[in-house]
Amino acid sequence: MTAREIPYKIYLDESEIPTAWYNVRADMKNKPAPLLNPGTHQPMTAQELSAVFCEDLVAQELDNDTRLFPIPQEIQDFYRMYRPSPLVRAYCLEKKLQTPAHIYYKFEGNNTSGSHKLNSAIAQAYYAKKQGLKGVTTETGAGQWGTALSMACAYLGLDCKVFMVKVSYEQKPFRREVMRTYGASVTPSPSETTQVGRKILAEHPGTTGSLGCAISEAVEVAVGTPGYRYVLGSVLNQVLLHQSVIGVEAKTALDKYGVKPDVIIGCAGGGSNLGGLISPFMGEKLRGEADYRIVAVEPASCPSLTRGVYAYDFCDTGMVCPLAKMYTLGSDFIPAPNHAGGLRYHGMSPILSQLYDDGLMEAVSVPQTRVFEAAELFARTEGILPAPESSHAICAAIDEALKCKESGEEKTILFGLTGTGYFDMVAYEKFHDGRMDDYVPTDEELAQFRARLPKID
Amino acid sequence: MTAREIPYKIYLDESEIPTAWYNVRADMKNKPAPLLNPGTHQPMTAQELSAVFCEDLVAQELDNDTRLFPIPQEIQDFYRMYRPSPLVRAYCLEKKLQTPAHIYYKFEGNNTSGSHKLNSAIAQAYYAKKQGLKGVTTETGAGQWGTALSMACAYLGLDCKVFMVKVSYEQKPFRREVMRTYGASVTPSPSETTQVGRKILAEHPGTTGSLGCAISEAVEVAVGTPGYRYVLGSVLNQVLLHQSVIGVEAKTALDKYGVKPDVIIGCAGGGSNLGGLISPFMGEKLRGEADYRIVAVEPASCPSLTRGVYAYDFCDTGMVCPLAKMYTLGSDFIPAPNHAGGLRYHGMSPILSQLYDDGLMEAVSVPQTRVFEAAELFARTEGILPAPESSHAICAAIDEALKCKESGEEKTILFGLTGTGYFDMVAYEKFHDGRMDDYVPTDEELAQFRARLPKID
């Protein structure tokens, strides 16, 4: 800490909102493995990808070299509606924990979508609009991504078709209603409206759906409807690129006060938030300019980094998407029904998977009861009701801070607070009522899913 | 507009958060009428009020002369967790409406309670703690006030007992769950736990409750439990005092850019937001230093200012509270069941009632379908999902902006965006499904309630 007193919340000026996204791949010695054509097992070409994704996004997806991508003015304008997001010094939490550690969090929940997902949603919607498309399709699980995309599409006047995992559709009618407020159409998945949906329903009658299945439906509709493309809220390189706005802002704010984090912590499902938050810090690390401990936190019930394998796998259940090399639990893995938070995707961003495999970051997993304990403590001390997803990072940050208390070290901890939990009160209720369990898949279960991974040379 | 370009969001520095509340009563020539003892009809003394309210709050309630009340350091620290709140220039809405008007809104929804209520909740909890109390009781309707008070009490380690209007308790289980996250006990009202609750249940079996009834229960418990006092989220002078932080911040931000509003608009239920927002502007007006049009917006289904009478009335159904002179519809008035938003209290803050009666402000009422149309337009253009309450102000602001479009006038409009609508999706759903109606009480209905007003000389 410098002499200059650090406020509770560091807000940058609007003029300090990043004007370029930072592409961490440019600084990676080992690039993430390319997406493969599921039929030929050859790297997907730009032309092949353009059937599914918008052209500019395909270019971003494949570009491992360009370090900075200028953010188009229209996206910058939209960012001004809810950015810069605050970097908060967690004075109240530090006091509560009686830790000598300094804790900071980058809070991305102060927008109606309730999470960081909006950063990429507006970018993807913008490029779809620029290409003259009529609309986009996507899937959503907990609903944060669907909400974010609906907001972005409403702003730009694009049509938005969302396939929502059926169990979420039924348990989160309010999320659905927010998307409707933004003019999106929301279909519970699996549905009878697609071939793959009908196939899955026939094979698994009464299924409550999964992310992988909703992806397959959304891709089928995008490919089969003129003027439509598919967009995805996590995992992809392009998404991490857009989300770098989180990290670049956070680093600018810390630099202003001469603060250098020792540990950077983020929750990790598909990796969009973590990848974005760490990008400029990881860049320095890759270039040998600085060193940071970087920690991914995942649910013990969906442990792709800590218990998965690094291999090519399908991104979706219907196997219509390209293959990606990533830490994965297998494309038909679904977390136990009692798993309450998000972060339920079977695989991890190829970029993060490569960085993890190269030993450039760590990963831990936490059981959900501890996550909700951390969430409640955080809500009561910092005043923000966190999303279950974000609370994984809170949990790990508290653990680090308590270690500092024991050792007396005055470390600086930075974590990503990705969103708010207003639409997750059913999970909080379970926790309050003691109806939450900490089921963790056994080694035998994981081995079964792993045995079904595609064989790629 | 000055030469200096106005950003989308004006954030003050933490050092610019107000350090004193402004008491508009000090500048009023005609002071608000005193609260009366319901038995003797004599002005309530400090001693009498102290049986119900905390001592410092009683002093604030009765003080018509002190212009500035310093904000205690602990409350200032808490304010830093979520203040300053942004003053937003509604560029996107202006563009959408194609109006020459400049629209600003002070957004108070970026905290977990989702509204401005937290500004007074922390103050009232602080004074209770300072007095050495064990806890506080209160009522809540839509749940914003109960959530805010729960947050404040959790922060200070105070017990918090909330009586929640039964219909809200049942329709908004998630609000209840947020309060539980903050450690509050929540009882549906009317309940069997109080004398007044049992009486009301006996007289009206199956009633779904009302604010006035929940107030009676909360007061009964506060008065009958050692170490407890009652706190209220609106109407009272002390609440408007605390909420002046909204207006003082807004004025500081506007002054920085040399902007002077022509019209100031706020939604009005009990009057806490409107009273807070307008206070420093009204002060200038009362002192003859400036002139502003000030507009209260209320629901057509609960029109206390536009169709009520200015008279002494009961504040609660059980008639245990002091009498207040206010614009009122009668203490047993309850808006039609289809009324979706908040703003359902039968009376209006005595301060605002006096200012309105003196012709210092205007009032309009709007039907709820138009309110939700405005809410949806606002959500799609400005990206924030507004609370139904706040959307009354949005609706009136849009009307003003459209008048400017017709006349070509470049007026500056400031309105209060009090909160977010995440817990109001049942109402939005009604709107989307076309199940919302615009029932407005008839003159005959209003006359019936008016006939039951207490007779005070």
The verdict on a CB contact (< 8 Å) between A182 and B111 is no
Position of tokens 């049009």?
B293
| Strand-pair category, A102-107 with A412-417 | parallel
In the block, tokens 């607070």 appear at: A417
pLDDT at A327 over 70: yes
β-pairing verdict for B293-299 and B362-366: parallel
* CB–CB contacts below 8 A, A to B: 112
User: Confidence class of residue A3 from pLDDT cuts 50, 70 and 90?
Assistant: very low
3-state secondary structure of A164: strand
Burial class (CB in 10 A: 0-12, 13-18, 19+), B337: exposed
How close is the nearest chain B Cα to the Cα of A89, in Å? 9
Mean pLDDT of A74-99: 96
Cα–Cα distances (Å) from A344 to A186, A300, A372, B28, in that order, read 20, 11, 16, 59
Rounded-to-5 percentages of helix, strand, coil across chain A: 45, 20, 40
Instruction: Please answer whether residues A105 and A415 qualify as being in contact, where contact means their C-beta atoms are separated by less than 8 angstroms.
Output: yes
| Residue B4 pLDDT | 57
Rounded to 5 degrees, φ, ψ at B120 are: -90, -30
Provide the shortest C-alpha distance from residue B371 to chain A (in Å).
14
A346-366: per-residue pLDDT in tens?
Answer: 999 999 999 999 999 999 999
Distance of CA A142 to the CA centre of its chain: 12
Domains and CATH numbers, chain A: 7-19+82-114+238-450 (3.40.50.1100), 22-70+117-235 (3.40.50.1100)
Distance from CA of A439 to the nearest CA of B (A): 23
Contact B422 A174 (CB under 8 A): yes
Residue (of A225, A164, A215) closest to A320 by Cα position? A215
3-state SS assignment for residue A382: helix
Predicted confidence (pLDDT) per residue in B330-384, tens digit: 998 988 888 877 888 999 999 999 999 999 999 999 999 999 999 999 999 999 9
Residue of A154, A173, A429 with shortest CB distance to B380: A154
Residue in B closest to A12 by C-alpha: B11
Q: Do B81 and A8 lie within an 8 Å CB cutoff?
A: yes
**A113: number of CA atoms within 13 Å, CB side?**
29
Q: Is the pLDDT of residue B226 over 80?
A: yes
**B205 has a pLDDT exceeding 70:** yes
Q: From CA B96, how far away is CA B413, in angstroms rounded?
A: 16
Assembly ipTM: 0.92
Q: Which of B181, B391, B424, B431 to mutate to test the interface with A (most CBs of A within 10 A)?
A: B181
* pLDDT score of B386 more than 90: yes
DSSP state of A419: B
Q: Do A432 and B183 touch (CB under 8 A)?
A: no
Please report where in the chains the tokens 């993430």 appear, as a residue: A32
The closest alpha carbon to A361, from A278, A286, A294, A305, belongs to A294
User: Residue B338's pLDDT is what?
Assistant: 80
Q: Which two tokens stand for residue A414?
A: 């930075």
B11 interaction partners in chain A (CB closer than 8 Å)? 11
Judge: A379–B112 Cβ closer than 8 Å, yes or no.
yes
Comparing C-alpha atoms, which of B52, B185, B71 is closest to residue B128?
A: B52
Digit-coded pLDDT (tens) for B414-424? 999 999 999 99
A383/B183 CB distance under 8 A: no
- Looking at beta carbons, which residues of chain A come within 8 Å of B92? 81, 155
Residues 6+ apart with CB under 8 A from B236: B61, B349
Contact residues on chain B for A423, CB-CB shorter than 8 A: 422
Q: At residue B1, does pLDDT exceed 60?
A: no
In chain A, the residue whose alpha carbon lies closest to the alpha carbon of B431 is: A181
Q: Are strands A185-189 and A293-299 parallel, antiparallel or unpaired?
A: unpaired
Alpha helices in A204-297 (DSSP H): 211-224, 237-256, 272-286
| Angle B14-B17-B20 from CA coordinates, rounded to 5° | 145
Q: For helices B272-286 and B237-256, what crossing angle results, to 10°?
A: 60
Residue in B380, B417, B424 to test binding to A, most A beta-carbons within 10 Å = B380
Least Cα separation, residue B376 to chain A (angstroms)? 6
DSSP per-residue codes, B286-318: HTTS---EEEEEEETTS-HHHHSEEEEEESSSS
Give bridge partners of residue B164 from the DSSP assignment. B140, B188
Residue indicated by tokens 């020539």: B29
Mutation for B interface: A373, A422, A429, most B CBs within 10 A? A422
Side-by-side strand order, sheet with A9-10 = A9-10, A87-89, A102-107, A412-417, A263-267, A293-299, A362-366
The DSSP letter of residue B226 is T
Q: Which of A109, A302, A201, A184 is nearest to B380 (CA)?
A: A184
pLDDT digits (tens, 9 = 90+) for B120-173: 999 999 999 999 999 999 999 889 999 999 999 999 999 999 999 998 898 888
C-alpha dist (Å) from residue A323 to A56, A235, A407, A451, B361:
21, 12, 45, 16, 65
Q: Do B80 and A381 touch (CB under 8 A)?
A: no
What is the Cα–Cα distance from B202 to B199, expressed in whole angstroms? Answer: 5
Which of A34-43, A341-350, A415-424, B439-448 is least confident? Answer: A341-350
Residue A413 DSSP one-character state: E
Q: pTM of the entire structure? A: 0.95
Closest approach of A368 to chain B, Cα-based (Å): 16
The predicted-structure confidence for A161-219, as pLDDT tens digits, reads as follows: 999 999 889 888 899 999 999 999 999 999 999 999 999 999 999 888 888 899 999 99
- Write out chain A residues lying below 8 Å of B14, CB-based: 7-9
Distance from CA of B117 to the nearest CA of A (A): 14
Q: What angle do CA A30, A31, A37 make, to 5 degrees?
A: 135
Cβ contacts of A385 on chain B, cutoff 8 Å: 112, 178, 181
With contacts defined as CB-CB under 8 Å, which chain A residues touch B425?
173-174, 177-178
B145 neighbors B234 (Cβ within 8 angstroms): yes
Q: What is the pLDDT of residue B318?
A: 87
Is residue A426 packed enough to be buried (19+ CB in 10 Å), middle (13-18) or exposed (0-12)? middle
Query: How far is the alpha carbon of B209 from chain A, nearest alpha carbon, in Å?
Result: 24
Shortest Cα distance, chain A CAs vs residue B437, angstroms:
18
pLDDT for position A4: 57
**Non-local CB neighbours of B107 within 8 Å, separated by 6+ positions:** B85, B86, B87, B88, B384, B417
Candidates A174, A380, A423; nearest CB to B183 = A380
